[in-house]
Chain A
């Protein structure tokens, strides 16, 4: 049976004229960006063009889509629980047979539906690039899956803040600040870790064998960073190894996996973090925390 919250939100979403207006504006802007890029790379020059530019155009569009989704998703999702609270409908939901997990997952699915709508609606614009070649369909599908996983992570952050902050506007603002915070914060954290590692390595306290641990730790911390996330997509599309190279340069080692790209790690970490955030959110909305077996309050 389809998640009832998702089914209801889907019904309401497609009835909302604002969604269609928002979608039209989004596509119009994306089309404008695409047109601008194509003009910049002089694609209609009769003397030919460099096919690599198409890949750059694709990545710029992808980056633009990722950036807009980073701010659209919290705006849509942060009202998921706080909106129910403000509308005084949350109590109704909590007395039903739906578990906290079912409710938060239903809410996240509703947000992802909107993301899916934006992605599908933008496909004809991407198709302009496919016409010129240079971007593989399989690569595009993989990137789309990755974008959905990323959206899931950002959405889970917004759902989480929606469960702990009562006002939707505040939950949206905090979600956005949190994402900006992790973008800057994780970068600083990685620099600090690398600085410590290199100092300890230089002092002889640590051996080179710790490089894999430090490298993995950096990847884990960086994975929540949307910029790193985007670079990992660039790496996967262009076949470059920018992230591994940067990390190896920082910790002065040769640390890489033959078949695994950074975005594979990031995708796994996003899924794990999303599940954890949703579990916490489900716990947060429970009105009565379950008591341990055998404990009597009377």
Chain B
């Protein structure tokens, strides 16, 4: 769906994006993570056709953004990190204006606007002036605006930035709803654990370079080189520990009252064998789960604790 090859963007002597290569598959929700000044916004602006690259190319569906942006405008929905609104317009007029900018016929607009306002939970505010909305509502309105032309790819640059905790939760709920729309979504945010919940893939950018990408668990494995498994047992954790200690692939065993955790460098097959050995030795296993990766941890490790948000 989206492919970036050797992207470079310089502002004077400062290189904001430095030979960035990246690929986002169709239908995926891609979390774009990086500390402030890492090059996220610049990259997203280039993706949306709002900035020209000094080197490299961005392709969407095989078309080069810098050459075919007019043809790609229907496919791209973009929400910037900082934006303004037309305060003298009512919510439905605001949406109607943007429907007009995509030349959506008048007769189709009402249904589209109703559906989108319902999606972002602003249907009851349709006759309110934009000026009277809270910041969180404005952010959601802006999100609805970026969906007005039913784009295939949605580029959301820090959609929850500057929101209070409650507004963040509301925005998160709306973003979760977007998963059902079957769109390719690229989202950058500082709400890292929330991104981990909803993203199918993440890319970590620092100093204009993509450091790592993949699913949260894949990246966790790249970093820690070790998977952490939690085993919950009905009784007798000592027995489970005894068996695990005999297995060479198992490391760092920790015993608690009702569960045991251990590290493992092995593959899924190896983990399956570990579970078989525990069960065949009579350990009453209730659950055997790999611990979910925490995006915040990954982020801090990869960027060397440079996040300042």
Alpha-carbon distance A89/B5, docked complex (angstroms): 29
In the complex, what residues of B have CB within 8 A of residue A99's CB? 70
B281 close to A (CB within 8 Å): no
Please report whether the interface of chain A is mostly helix, strand, loop or mixed according to DSSP: loop
B101 close to A (CB within 8 Å): yes
Q: A89-B86, A94-B49, A97-B73 are in contact. List 5 more A-B contacts (CB 8 A).
A: A8-B93, A87-B86, A91-B50, A95-B50, A95-B78
Q: Are B50 and A298 in contact (CB under 8 A)?
A: no
A297 close to B (CB within 8 Å): yes
**Also in contact, A8 and B50, with CB within 8 A (given A96-B102, A97-B103, A297-B57):** no
In the complex, what residues of B have CB within 8 A of residue A5's CB? 101
Q: Are B74 and A95 in contact (CB under 8 A)?
A: no
In the complex, what residues of B have CB within 8 A of residue A297's CB? 53, 55-57, 66
B173 close to A (CB within 8 Å): no
Q: Shortest beta-carbon distance, B102 to chain A, in Å?
A: 5
Write the B67-103 contact mask toward A (1 if CB under 8 angstroms, else 0): 1011001101010101111101100010001101111
Within 8 A of B (CB), among A269-291: 287-291
Q: Are A89 and B83 in contact (CB under 8 A)?
A: yes
Q: Are B83 and A88 in contact (CB under 8 A)?
A: yes
In the complex, which of the residues A97, A99, A293, A297 has the most CB atoms of chain B within 10 Å of its own CB atom?
Answer: A297
Q: Are A288 and B52 in contact (CB under 8 A)?
A: yes
Q: Are B67 and A291 in contact (CB under 8 A)?
A: yes
B211 close to A (CB within 8 Å): no
Q: Residue of B at shortest CB range from A2?
A: B100
In the complex, what residues of A have CB within 8 A of residue B48's CB? 95
Alpha-carbon distance A87/B93, docked complex (angstroms): 18
Number of interface residues of B (CB under 8 A): 40
B243 close to A (CB within 8 Å): no
In the complex, what residues of B have CB within 8 A of residue A12's CB? 86, 88-89
Within 8 A of B (CB), among A86-133: 87-89, 91-99
Q: Residue of B at shortest CB range from A87?
A: B84
Q: Are B69 and A288 in contact (CB under 8 A)?
A: yes
**Also in contact, A96 and B101, with CB within 8 A (given A8-B89, A297-B56):** yes
In the complex, what residues of B have CB within 8 A of residue A96's CB? 73, 98, 101-102, 149
Alpha-carbon distance A182/B48, docked complex (angstroms): 40
Q: Which residues of B contact A (CB under 8 A)?
A: 5-6, 45, 48-53, 55-57, 65-67, 69-70, 73-74, 76, 78, 80, 82-86, 88-89, 93, 97-98, 100-103, 105-106, 145, 149
Alpha-carbon distance A2/B99, docked complex (angstroms): 12
Q: Are A89 and B56 in contact (CB under 8 A)?
A: no
Q: Shortest beta-carbon distance, A244 to chain B, in Å?
A: 47
Q: Are B57 and A298 in contact (CB under 8 A)?
A: yes
A45 close to B (CB within 8 Å): no
Q: Residue of B at shortest CB range from A103?
A: B101
Q: Which 8 A-B pairs have the closest CB atoms?
A: A4-B100, A96-B101, A88-B84, A87-B84, A8-B97, A288-B52, A12-B88, A287-B50
Within 8 A of B (CB), among A235-265: none
A-B contact pairs, 14 of them (CB 8 A): A7-B97, A7-B100, A87-B86, A88-B82, A88-B84, A89-B86, A91-B50, A92-B83, A94-B50, A95-B73, A97-B102, A291-B66, A296-B57, A298-B55
In the complex, what residues of A have CB within 8 A of residue B65's CB? 288
Q: Are B55 and A1 in contact (CB under 8 A)?
A: no
In the complex, what residues of A have CB within 8 A of residue B73's CB? 95-97
In the complex, which of the residues A11, A87, A288, A289 has the most CB atoms of chain B within 10 Å of its own CB atom?
Answer: A288
Q: Are A97 and B101 in contact (CB under 8 A)?
A: yes
Q: Are A8 and B100 in contact (CB under 8 A)?
A: yes
In the complex, what residues of B have CB within 8 A of residue A8's CB? 86, 89, 93, 97, 100
Q: Are A15 and B88 in contact (CB under 8 A)?
A: yes
A209 close to B (CB within 8 Å): no
Alpha-carbon distance A93/B83, docked complex (angstroms): 11
Contact of A89 among B53, B85, B93, B103 (CB under 8 A): B85
Q: Are A92 and B98 in contact (CB under 8 A)?
A: yes
In the complex, what residues of B have CB within 8 A of residue A289's CB? 52
Alpha-carbon distance A1/B100, docked complex (angstroms): 8
Q: Shortest beta-carbon distance, B173 to chain A, in Å?
A: 24
A47 close to B (CB within 8 Å): no
A16 close to B (CB within 8 Å): yes
Q: Residue of A at shortest CB range from B100?
A: A4
Q: Shortest beta-carbon distance, A101 to chain B, in Å?
A: 12
Alpha-carbon distance A91/B106, docked complex (angstroms): 24
Q: Shortest beta-carbon distance, B159 to chain A, in Å?
A: 14
In the complex, what residues of A have CB within 8 A of residue B85's CB? 89
Q: Are A298 and B82 in contact (CB under 8 A)?
A: no
Alpha-carbon distance A12/B55, docked complex (angstroms): 41
Q: Are B66 and A11 in contact (CB under 8 A)?
A: no
